[in-house]
């Protein structure tokens, strides 16, 4: 694993980055809109050299005494999944679940590419190409992020269906393919070095859907990041927003050469590539839920409510959700499923059950954390107010006591506010409702991976004392995932009206 400093240096690669509302960013490592998250990624890399984190971040020594980072492991058994899952949970917690894309996630994308190419049956040469790319990722720690490849809204509303694809193949050369186009939302592109672009981009070769990996710093690539989550400039009031806004973005390609070794033929949908990704998403969501529970516990202490029966019931509501996710993740890692290329993947049914539970619970978790501290959450002062001579004594009288100073209690309240009532919180919700397909996709995946339709349906018939037709419900899991939403362009007649 490279050092954080080496990672930071790698980002100075001539990339063209814009942040909405901020203009061109010449150097993401120093620009105020981006440097905070760069520093978090630097810290992520350096954790691998921290003795206190060794048992979390590194696999047990192999025969030669080498310890591989869990973040760059290709799992082959349940023990690998358990070790990897533990490292994801611990590191995601460090950002309260806000930084969801890191090089460990990139490693899972690369594993998913191998899986997708194998499932597509493109041939051994293509599988070897995908394996070589994963090997490079595992060796260098290069940071890869993910885009499904779908086009932005303007493309989808074009009158001619042929023009609605995100990317067009400009030409093929002996070195690769040259592409142009614009790609919709994906996350952390300005911090990553490579972006996997999925087959939703619409490019085909010899009738096969194409996915590819493009370098963020490549010639012809422009990254447009969304506006930063609005936050107070004072970190006391935005302890999370000021550090963990990972920035989503769109990608423009202008005659970009993609070498053949970065071109992968896969099925049209993103399911196979995402084989390990939903598991990581659930770890991110679990970390956010655990952080919410931790905050609620800390606040119940700071507000003197640990023995208030109603507060404890709120806490149990939170911990029931947290513990359900833990149970699902435990089961997923302990009952893994093999992939075509010999890797081991977490059991999808358990992961989906956990994800659906969290989708249902998410808003309630936020509301409980707003309820537990009472209205102090709304009126808590900042550190600058506490320092104002005219206010200091009064604020101390109003907010100090019970083992906490005004600054301490306020810091905790502001942390809670930033977690569940900020622009960062709103972005997280909006993002996760779309990023992995939202609730419809998680339900669809559970529908497809649940295995007992026929056995349960026919088992209940045994209670009846008459011959019954044998039931075959294979069509329920066999049905494809719901198609992506179709955007309907306005009719030309309507367009013509003033």
Per CB under 8 A, 400 contacts other proteins: no
Among 118, 167, 169, 328, binds other proteins (CB under 8 A): 328
Closest C-alpha to 52, from 90, 16, 78, 80: 90
Closest C-alpha to 237, from 449, 38, 385, 68: 385
Per CB under 8 A, 229 contacts other proteins: no
Ranges within 69-128 binding other proteins (CB under 8 A): 93, 96
**Of 199 and 348, which has the nearer Cβ to other proteins?**
348
Among 54, 205, 316, 340, binds other proteins (CB under 8 A): 316
Six-digit token string for 258: 């993609």
Q: Give the bridge partners for 69, in sequence order.
A: 58
Among 306, 310, 363, 487, binds other proteins (CB under 8 A): 306
Least distance CB 80 / other proteins (angstroms):
15
Least distance CB 404 / other proteins (angstroms):
6
Q: Give the side-chain half-sphere CA count within 13 A for 319.
A: 10
**Of 57 and 353, which has the nearer Cβ to other proteins?**
353
Closest C-alpha to 379, from 397, 398, 362: 398
Collapsing DSSP to helix, strand or coil, 6 comes out as helix
Among 231, 349, 362, 427, binds other proteins (CB under 8 A): 349
The Cα–Cα gap between 406 and 413 comes to 10
- C-alpha distances (whole Å) from 49 to each of 68, 258, 385 are 12, 34, 40
Stretch that binds other proteins, among 185-193, 257-265, 285-293, 488-496 (CB under 8 A): 285-293
Q: Give the bridge partners for 336, in sequence order.
A: none
Quote the Cα angle for 170-174-177, to 5°: 30
Ranges within 11-30 binding other proteins (CB under 8 A): none
Q: Where do the H-state alpha helices sit in 141-248?
A: 153-156
How far is the first Cα of the chain from the last one, in angstroms, to the nearest whole number? 59
**Of 146 and 236, which has the nearer Cβ to other proteins?**
236
Six-digit token string for 147: 């885009």
Per CB under 8 A, 331 contacts other proteins: yes
Residues in the interface with other proteins (CB under 8 A) total 73
Ranges within 193-222 binding other proteins (CB under 8 A): none
**Of 195 and 332, which has the nearer Cβ to other proteins?**
332
Among 248, 290, 428, 432, binds other proteins (CB under 8 A): 290
| 237-256 footprint of other proteins as x/- string (CB under 8 A) | --xx----------------
Q: DSSP for 318-346, please give it.
A: HHHHHHHHHHHHHHHHHS-EE-TTS-EE-
Among 20, 356, 391, 481, binds other proteins (CB under 8 A): 356
**Of 261 and 301, which has the nearer Cβ to other proteins?**
301
Q: Give the side-chain half-sphere CA count within 13 A for 310.
A: 5
- C-alpha distances (whole Å) from 321 to each of 289, 431, 437 are 8, 21, 21
Per CB under 8 A, 156 contacts other proteins: no
Per CB under 8 A, 374 contacts other proteins: no
**Of 202 and 354, which has the nearer Cβ to other proteins?**
354
Ranges within 428-487 binding other proteins (CB under 8 A): 443, 446-447, 450, 452-453, 456-461, 463-469, 471-473, 475-476, 479
Per CB under 8 A, 310 contacts other proteins: no
Quickly count helices (H) and strands (E) in the chain. Answer: 19, 13
**Of 340 and 460, which has the nearer Cβ to other proteins?**
460
Quote the Cα angle for 200-202-207, to 5°: 115
Quote the Cα angle for 192-271-266, to 5°: 80
Per CB under 8 A, 392 contacts other proteins: no
Per CB under 8 A, 300 contacts other proteins: yes
**Of 126 and 288, which has the nearer Cβ to other proteins?**
288
Least distance CB 393 / other proteins (angstroms):
20
Q: For tokens 């102090």, what's the residue?
A: 376
């Amino acid at each position: 694993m490279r050092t954080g400093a080496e990672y930071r240096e790698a980002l100075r690669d001539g990339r063209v980055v814009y942040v909405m509302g901020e203009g061109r960013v010449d150097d993401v490592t120093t620009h105020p809109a981006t440097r905070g998250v760069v520093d978090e990624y630097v810290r992520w890399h350096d954790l691998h050299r921290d003795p206190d984190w060794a048992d979390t971040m590194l696999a047990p020594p192999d025969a030669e005494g080498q310890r591989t980072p869990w973040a760059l492991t290709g799992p082959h058994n349940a023990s690998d999944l358990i070790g990897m899952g533990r490292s994801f949970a611990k590191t995601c917690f460090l950002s309260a679940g806000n930084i969801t894309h890191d090089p460990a996630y990139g490693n899972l994308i690369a594993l998913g590419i191998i899986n997708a190419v194998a499932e597509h049956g493109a041939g051994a040469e293509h599988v070897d190409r995908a394996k070589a790319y994963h090997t490079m990722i595992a060796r260098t720690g290069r940071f890869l992020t993910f885009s499904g490849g779908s086009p932005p809204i303007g493309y989808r509303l074009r009158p001619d269906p042929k023009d609605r694809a995100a990317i067009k193949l400009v030409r093929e050369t002996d070195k690769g393919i040259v592409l142009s186009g614009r790609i919709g939302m994906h996350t952390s592109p300005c911090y990553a070095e490579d972006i996997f672009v999925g087959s939703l981009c619409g490019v085909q070769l010899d009738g096969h859907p194409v996915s590819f990996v493009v370098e963020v710093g490549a010639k012809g690539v422009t990254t447009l990041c969304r506006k930063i989550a609005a936050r107070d400039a004072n970190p006391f009031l935005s302890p999370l927003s000021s550090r963990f806004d990972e920035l989503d973005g769109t990608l423009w390609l202008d005659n970009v050469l993609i070498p053949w070794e970065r071109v992968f033929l896969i099925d049209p949908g993103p399911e196979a590539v995402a084989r390990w990704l939903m598991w990581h998403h659930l770890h991110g969501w679990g970390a956010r839920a655990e952080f919410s529970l931790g905050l609620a516990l800390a606040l119940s202490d700071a507000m003197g409510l640990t023995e208030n029966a109603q507060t404890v019931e709120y806490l149990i509501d939170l911990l029931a959700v947290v513990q359900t996710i833990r149970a699902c993740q435990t089961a997923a890692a302990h009952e893994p499923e093999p992939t075509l290329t010999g890797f081991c993947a977490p059991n999808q049914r358990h992961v989906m059950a956990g994800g659906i539970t969290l989708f249902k619970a998410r808003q309630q978790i936020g509301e409980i954390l707003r309820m537990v501290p009472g209205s102090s959450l709304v009126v808590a002062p900042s550190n600058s107010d506490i320092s104002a001579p005219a206010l200091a004594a009064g604020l101390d009288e109003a907010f100090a006591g019970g083992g906490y100073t005004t600054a301490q209690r306020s810091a905790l309240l502001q942390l809670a506010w930033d977690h569940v009532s900020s622009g960062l919180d709103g972005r997280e919700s909006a993002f996760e409702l779309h990023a992995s397909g939202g609730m419809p996709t998680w339900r669809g995946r559970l529908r497809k991976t649940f295995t007992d339709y026929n056995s349960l349906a026919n088992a209940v018939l045994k209670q009846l004392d008459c011959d019954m037709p044998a039931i075959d419900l294979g069509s329920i899991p066999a049905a494809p995932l719901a198609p992506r939403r179709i955007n309907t362009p306005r009719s030309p007649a309507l367009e013509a009206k003033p």
